[in-house]
Chains A and B, each alone.
Chain A
Amino acid sequence: QVQLQESGPGLVKPSETLSLTCTVSGDSINGCYWNWIRQSPGKGLEWIGYMYSSGSTNYNPSLRSRVTMSVDTSKNQFSLKLSSVTAADTAVYYCARDRGSNWPTYNFDDWGQGTLVTVSS
């Protein structure tokens, strides 16, 4: 049974960069599509993007200019960086695995518990 755990600062100042890591246990990070999804009261659930274990990515166009994802297969981790944050980026951030392996299905069958990130000075 795969488990995902998000980690990172819970408070980020406006204009700074939000950085989160998702640690995967119980399975290899290789051969899977790993996603970041956030949830805020104002915007509901919002898909941020995915990173494949080989390094290929697909980002939400509305966030693309500010998003960078990376993977560290040696640590079984993948990461999210979101730059120039504002209060609108305050949300619970989830990492999630795509159900597919050879290609992304955009069906998310395993999720982390989520981590609240607040943007405030």
Chain B
Amino acid sequence: DIQMTQSPSSLSASVGDRVTITCRASQSISNYLNWYQQKPGKAPKLLIYSASTLQSGVPSRFSGSRSGTDFTLTISSLQPEDFATYYCQQSYSTLEITFGPGTKVDVK
């Protein structure tokens, strides 16, 4: 099965900071990579699918990119409502969909 790793596992940032989170797949998954945001006590929210396509209604400060098996989620200017945990998820292997372990973004 395809393993997903994320780095860092947590980071501290301030409002207005540019934040970058990396997700790495254990094998090629093409662009089949999605990003979710989860706040405490809430369900995950789809932010980006197919590595770089913004889900409808998601602010444009969120963006995604791919380089080989490395994927990046970037928040261009962190807002107060962006403090949350972010998960990547591969949708390439439809036999077993897997999520990354998450990256927690908290207040510096």
Contacts and interface: CB of A to CB of B under 8 A. Distances in A.
Interface of A: 44-47, 58, 60-62, 94, 96, 99, 104-109, 111-114
B7 to A, nearest CB: 15
A87 to B, nearest CB: 21
A116 B24 CA distance: 30
Contacts of B101: 44
B94 interface: yes
Given A45-B89, A99-B49, A112-B43, A107 B94 contact: no
Interface string B65-108: 00000000000000000000001010100111111111000000
A61 B98 CA distance: 12
Contacts of B8: none
